[in-house]
């Protein structure tokens, strides 16, 4: 079975600083990887995903992530954050197949301070 570990439960940063949110996965087979974002009192929204091909994927709002198979990681990055990026970020994995059952990490709360 697949699993996801988000190494940081909270990440505080200052506005315009770069940020990296870490995600490691565990699976014995190929996986699809995702980052979802949850703004306060809202549902989750897809930020970006890795299915195949280029290991660097770009998403909405200037975020990008890099798939590293040897390190089983899928870290999320943004070169310069804004106050509006304050939210909870979830890494998720699926093995694919007809069900595409997503397994989520525990989340990382990104707080951007002025």
Q: Which residues bind another protein (CB under 8 A)?
A: 4, 6, 9, 32, 34, 41-46, 49, 51, 90, 92, 94, 96, 99-107
β-bridge partners, 46: 36
Nearer residue to another protein within complex by CB, 73 or 108: 108
What's the closest the beta carbon of residue 49 comes to another protein, in angstroms? 6
Nearer residue to another protein within complex by CB, 34 or 67: 34
Distance CA 4, CA 73 (A): 9
Nearer residue to another protein within complex by CB, 35 or 78: 35
Nearest alpha-carbon partner for 91 in 56, 57, 58, 65: 65
Question: Measured in whole angstroms, how far is the alpha carbon of residue 86 from the centre of its chain?
Answer: 14
């Amino acid at each position: 079975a697949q699993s996801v570990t988000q190494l940081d439960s909270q990440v505080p940063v200052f506005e315009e600083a770069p940020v990296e949110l870490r995600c490691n996965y565990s699976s014995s087979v190929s996986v699809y990887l995702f980052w979802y974002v949850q703004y306060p009192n809202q549902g989750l929204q897809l930020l970006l995903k890795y299915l195949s091909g280029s290991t660097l994927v770009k998403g909405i709002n200037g975020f990008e992530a890099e798939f590293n198979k040897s390190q089983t990681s899928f870290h999320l990055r943004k070169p310069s954050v804004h106050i509006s990026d304050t939210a909870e970020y979830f890494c998720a994995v699926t093995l694919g197949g007809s069900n595409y059952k997503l397994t989520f990490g525990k989340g990382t709360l990104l707080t951007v301070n002025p």
